[in-house]
Each structure stands twice: as structure tokens, then as C-alpha cells.
Structure 1
Amino acid sequence: MRDQGEFLFTSESVSEGHPDKVADRISDTVLDAYLAADPYARVACETLVTTNQIVLAGETRGPASITNEYLAHLARMAVQDIGYDQEGFSWRDANIDVLLHAQSADIAVGVDASGNKDEGAGDQGIMFGYACTETEALMPAPIHYAHLILRRMAELRKIGDTRAAGLQPDAKSQVTLKYVDGKPVGATSIVVSTQHDEGLSQKAIKAMLRPLITELLPEGWMCEDDHFYVNPTGNFVIGGPDGDCGLTGRKIIVDTYGGAAPHGGGAFSGKDPTKVDRSAAYMCRYLAKNVVAAGLASRCTIQVSYAIGVSHPLSVYVDLHGTGNDVEQAKIERVLRESVNLTPRGIREHLHLNRPIYVPTSAYGHFGREPDAELGTFTWEKTDLVPTLKSAFGR
């Protein structure tokens, strides 16, 4: 995203009832079940959802107490919590196939610690983290508000609030913001498509959602009514997995920065923290957020890279996008590597990732969320590295 000039930038979000997010939720439910039983279990779970059908596949290594019947039950409870009890997709009678099998021995030998060998990365790849000063959460504003809209709609729907009367779980949002000199100043258009009860009109839904969204945006940011698009096709009754197949890991831009920053390509949900696709992306966000929170820059992108079976990152790269406050990017790279152990084991231990904390990440973004000390969730959103960074740069 540019730092200067006047431009428009758009990001989208999808609700927990979107088919791909239903799949993500079930995959992370499986992961949490294994980690609750064994903090060092290995999980790579993929889920497919379609009309009254749920399929779990992938590789696991964990206690025998986690049976296929138990996982099928958990999947059913996840669908119930999302809110699906429809003719074409219901928690009550959806068919569930659990096709998980043991983790590949070839992968395990590269990842496991043995002798003098430290735990290696679960795969090769590149991971990115990003932070900026556009919002209090240090997230890009378009994705931040796109998430807020859908989270609020889901909250109201689940408690039976009249402000969401007749809305169903499947929904998408899209927020386009105008930037002046690199800073967001207001929305030029907003799109919301939401599944709804038969007979609820497009006009009624638009009237219902406009005040709700206006409250969520900064004052004066709501777009003109002609550019507020609600269910543009006019009708959205058939939705969720009955309307469209869902798969784990298909919403990687929704899950991260809404297109405002690079992405390494790896999905998160259903993967235990030895998979650096997930854990190293969390660490990159943690580092970038702390750099910005420390006042060293107003924008920061961090990239790391790994090779399967190798413990230390092959590279660490920092880009301040010309916003650094009298700091050298090379020095930040050095200070970060000295301050945090970036091996898979080091990341897991620093961020306390070997716990059943992943279901809350499966919708409305993995980043920009409030860390919860009691639940131990979103530890990568903490800014506890700020004193170390400020000291290193004499702030």
C-alpha cells in the first residue's frame, strides 16, 4: 500500500458461517482437541463441507483417546455453535466422515528433536508479518472494519437481537476506504452480502445494517447510501455449505492483512505449531507489531524463511516502507534475532502455542485481536517486546 497520494484500497472479510470458515473452524476444533489431550500432538487437518456432508482428512499423531467418533461429535458441536440447522446443512444430521491417518514418518524424522539435533521446521516456506498505525489494533483499516462488521452481525444474530432479525450465518463484507497522504479518511463504498430468511427484503436488510455499520466506523466515515451495497443480487436464502462447498485454508488474505501486506501462501487452520506456516507467521506479526508499538516506524513488514527439518530461519528481512524514525532496518533485523529465538521450538515457547487456543482464530482474522490472559489466546498480539526494542534504540 502506498504511503503518499490519494487512492482507494479495499479489503474483504467473511463470516464464521461462510463455507470456507466452517471448514476452518472444524479443522481448528480438531487441533484443539489433540492439544488439550497432548500439548505436543501433531495435527494437519483439512476439512471439506458441502450439502449435509463434512469430511475430515489429513495427518495426526496423538493419544488414542482422541477417537474418530469424538472428533465427529466435536465437528457437529462446532456447526451448532455457528448456527446451522437448515435443511441443506444441519448440525443434527449432517453426514461426517473422519479420514485422518498417522503422520508421515519422513516428515516426523525432520521435525522431531533427537540427539544433538533441535526440532526442525515442519516445512519449507516464507512467512510475513505486518503492522501499521492506521488503527489502535495496529492493523490496516480496511480489513479491520470489514471484520468488525461481520463480528457484530454474528454477535447480534446469536443473541436474537432485533437488529439482526432474520439473518443467517453465511455473510461477506467488503470495505473500500479513501486514503489521503497514506492515511484513511473515510469509506467510499461498503458491500455486505448476508444469508437471510425467506421473505426478508433487500431493502429491509439494508435499513437494518446501515445504522449498525455507521456505529462501528469512525465518525463521518460511512459512505453515501448509493454506495452501500447489500445483497447486490437481491436474494441470498440458500447459503453456507449447502450453497457452496467449503475447504480449509482458502481465505488466507481474509485471515491476515486483507491484501495490504505480502503473504507467503501458507494457510493456518488445522495446523499444529510445529508447522511454521502458522507459528512463524504469528511470530512475524508479533515482531512487526512490537516494532510499530515501540515507535520505531509507522509501518513494518517482516519476512522469515525456513527449510524443512532445519531449526534456524534461513533469512530475516525487515521493511519499514520509508517510515522508520531514525533507525536502520539492518539493526532492527539484528536486534530482533538477538531478542527472540526464531527456531520452531523458540517460537512455540515464546508465544505459548502448545495449547488449545486456536478455535477463536478460525474466523474474523488471526491478527488485530485482543490477547486474553485467562484463555491464553492471541499471545502474538502482545506488545511486551516494546521495552527491549526501545532500550536497544535508546528511546
Structure 2
Amino acid sequence: MSQTSLFTSESVSRGHPDKLCDLISDTILDACLAQDPDARVAVEAAIKSQRLFLFGELTTTADVDPAELALQAIRVAGYDDPAWGLDTDRLAITIEIDRQSREIAAGVGEDGAGAGDQGLMFGFATDETTTGMPLALSLAHDLMERHDALRRSGSTWHLGPDAKAQVTIARRDGRPVGVTDVVLSSQHSPDLPLRQLRDILREEIVYPVLRDLRSDTERLQLNPAGTFHLGGPAADAGLTGRKIIVDTYGGAARHGGGAFSGKDPTKVDRSAAYAARQIARDVINRGWARRCEVQLAYAIGEERPVSVAFETEGGPAPTLIARFREAGVDLHALCIPRAIIDRLELRRPIYARTAAFGHFGREGFPWEAALA
């Protein structure tokens, strides 16, 4: 007998306070890597109202101005008009950034071969979509990207930078069969009546994204709480790394707990999560499973991972390491931090683009490419 269940994932806009902090952190990281590919960076941000706090560790020969880079990121996120509640001319910025601990630096090594910390990371892929991402999350990201494109086009200047989307899909026997609910909330100008806002959200964002997934029974909740004039840091505090489920798989797979943004690739929280995603997607692309979750675990300063483990649906998880070996792939060697960094070319300034709409399932990122 077939069984039907529901699954929900969410995404947020680049102007969401937490995502704003992710963008600030990754903008600083990119600026350092552009001048010094060997930079060691772990910079975080916290923001509330008209106060920004930048903190962390930075060891680099790059000459960067974290405060100016933060202001640049804030404008990119859509806060280029004080009307949205954040005035960059009045923003008070406090900076507490030190050099990386010598003990951590010694453990990692000059060439970045050793893991920058102990920890466990997960990668995931599914055949639900052509991008290998869970359908609910993929649609939620699409809604936020559509919202972003719409407000940047200038045709709907009434839409503010802060927004959230949530999508629920029905699954039958573990496979998606349709969309049941969409929740979408957008900050907006007081000049835009709520009824007109809801028309824009429905006609210009939701319907174009759902396309053939639309049905007569799906429920749309558009700004369900009503008006949303005050948003961004004026309404809620933001913090780097607080949207790790949005960043990864929308709850469809586990997460090791480590955030990504603001961290250079010697931090396995980031680089090994990218490697695990590449491995999981390769399993799906080879037809070895319908869903695949990969776990990597490391000890600080050690090169080879402590473990490489798989959980799959529709495939033989216990034999996957052997199957990769038969295909000429040594997964343990592949997951040495230096090998990950070199294979994926992670010392480049590519990270600001990851700060919104997810790190996975998007074109142009090397961890989405097939294993060589």
C-alpha cells in the first residue's frame, strides 16, 4: 500500500539579516583571497539596527579594509536606501579581528594538508531534480532568486530586501508528487497596499516558479502576517552561519553543525562539506542510488579523514567505497584537505556568491562537477 507524507523546506533572501552577515563574511574572505590565496580567514559578523560587529581571525598579507567591505556587501544585499531600515552612513562598526592561533596554524601546516579542526561533515544528493537537490528546497531557493531578480529589475521597487519562502511537497512512497503549500513573505514599502503586494507575489513570483507543478489544491500564504514594512536588521538581529540548513539541503539530510561563510578552505567545515556533496552527486550521476548521504570525519591536523561513510536509498551503501576503488577513485586520498582545495580550486575568491540561495545545486561551482 502506497504511503503519502509531507516535507517542507525554506529559503531566505540575501537581505535577510542572517544572510546579510553571511555575505559580509564572504565578501571579506574573497577580498583576502584575491590578494593572498593562502590567507587564513575566519571572520564573522553580527548586526542589529545601526550597529555591526566584525570579529574573528585573519592571517594574510592582503591589505583589506573590513569595514569598507562590509558596507559594500550591505549595499549589494539591497540596503542602498535608508527607507529599508539600514542607513550605511549612520552604521556604527566595531572590529575585533586577531591573527589565527599559532597552534591551529601549526596543526594545519603551511600547505593546508591537515584538517583545520576536528568535526564531521555531510554531503547529499538525490535524483528528485536535475540539480541533485531536494525538490522542496530547490523551489524555495527559486522563489527567493525570482524575488531578488524582480526587485533588482526596478519594475517592483516597492519590494524590500528582506524576504522568506517556504515550500511543502507531498511525497508518495518517498517520491515527490506535487506541491501542497507555499508560504512567501516579503518586506515592502508602505506605499504598496497589502492586496496589491499579494497579487505581485502570486503572479510575478509563485506562479512563474511553480509552472507545471501548480494545481488547484495548493495553498498559497502570501505575507500571512499582514504588512511587512520593517525588516532586515531593524527588525531582527543577524549573525553569520545561522542559516546552515538553508545553505545545505533544507533538512532533507543531516548537517555536521559547522557553518560555511567567512571561512577559508583549510577549514574542513566548508571544504569537506563541498567534497562530500561532490561525492554524493557522483553516486547519483553514476546511477548507484536514488538518494545518497555522505559523512566525512576529521581529526585536527590530520590529513586523511577518520572515516568516510554512506547512507543510500535504492543502492548498496556498504559496497560504495569498493565500487569507487574499482573505478579508480581512492575516497580517503580524495578527501585530504589539500587534495580537496587543489581539486576544487578553493583558494579563489568565489565565496560571496554562495552567501545566498544555497551552496549546492547551482551552476558554476566546482563541487557540482563530476569527479575526475
TM range (shorter): over 0.9
Shift of 1:340: 5.4
Shift of 1:113: 4.2
Instruction: Give 1:268-279 correspondences, 5 Å limit.
Output: 268-279=260-271
Report the counterpart of residue 101 of structure 1 in structure 2.
98
Report the counterpart of residue 241 of structure 1 in structure 2.
233
Report the counterpart of residue 47 of structure 2 in structure 1.
49
Give the aligned residue type for 2:346. L
Question: Closer, same or farther in 2 for the Cα pair 1:222/1:209, shift >3 Å?
Answer: farther
Matched, 1:254 2:246: yes
User: What SS is found at the alignment partner of 2:229?
Assistant: coil
Report the counterpart of residue 123 of structure 1 in structure 2.
117
2:74 aligns with one of 55, 75, 79:
79
Distance in 1 between the 2:93 and 2:361 partners? 33
2:107 aligns with one of 101, 107, 110:
110
User: What SS is found at the alignment partner of 2:214?
Assistant: coil
Report the counterpart of residue 343 of structure 1 in structure 2.
336
Contact 2:165 2:185 in 1 (8 A): yes
1:379 aligns with one of 344, 366, 371:
366
Instruction: Give 1:209-358 correspondences, 5 Å limit.
Output: 209-211=201-203, 212-222=205-215, 224=217, 227-321=219-313, 323-324=314-315, 328-332=319-323, 334=325, 336-338=329-331, 341-358=334-351
- How big is each residue's C-alpha offset from its partner over 1:268-323, in whole Å with a ceiling of 9 and x where there is no partner? 000000000000000000010111012111111100100111111000001222x1
Give the aligned residue type for 2:37. P
Identity across aligned pairs (percent)?
A: 47
Report the counterpart of residue 159 of structure 1 in structure 2.
153
Question: Closer, same or farther in 2 for the Cα pair 1:330/1:346, shift >3 Å?
Answer: closer
Distance in 2 between the 1:267 and 1:337 partners? 27
Q: How many residues align?
A: 366
TM-score norm. by structure 1 comes to 0.88
Give the aligned residue type for 1:22. L
Shift of 1:339: 8.4
Question: Closer, same or farther in 2 for the Cα pair 1:326/1:38, shift >3 Å?
Answer: closer
Shift of 1:183: 1.7
Distance in 1 between the 2:117 and 2:317 partners? 36
Distance in 2 between the 1:152 and 1:286 partners? 26
Distance in 2 between the 1:181 and 1:130 partners? 20
Q: Which stretch of structure 1 is more off in the superposition, 209-218 or 172-181?
A: 209-218
Q: Unaligned 5+ residue runs, structure 2?
A: none
Question: Closer, same or farther in 2 for the Cα pair 1:355/1:326, shift >3 Å?
Answer: closer
Give the aligned residue type for 1:254. V
- How big is each residue's C-alpha offset from its partner over 1:343-383, in whole Å with a ceiling of 9 and x where there is no partner? 11010001100111000000000000001xxxxxx110112
Contact 1:186 1:223 in 2 (8 A): no
TM-score norm. by structure 2 comes to 0.94
Distance in 2 between the 1:255 and 1:282 partners? 11
Matched, 1:140 2:134: yes
- How big is each residue's C-alpha offset from its partner over 1:218-269, in whole Å with a ceiling of 9 and x where there is no partner? 40435647x2111111111000011100000000000000000011000000
2:193 aligns with one of 201, 215, 219:
201
Q: Which stretch of structure 1 is more off in the superposition, 236-245 or 327-336?
A: 327-336
Q: Unaligned 5+ residue runs, structure 1?
A: 372-377, 386-395
Contact 2:170 2:178 in 1 (8 A): yes
Distance in 2 between the 1:313 and 1:126 partners? 9
Distance in 2 between the 1:342 and 1:160 partners? 45
User: What SS is found at the alignment partner of 1:178?
Assistant: strand
Backbone CA RMSD of aligned residues: 1.9
- How big is each residue's C-alpha offset from its partner over 1:64-118, in whole Å with a ceiling of 9 and x where there is no partner? 522xxx221111111111111225312333222222111111111111148xxx7
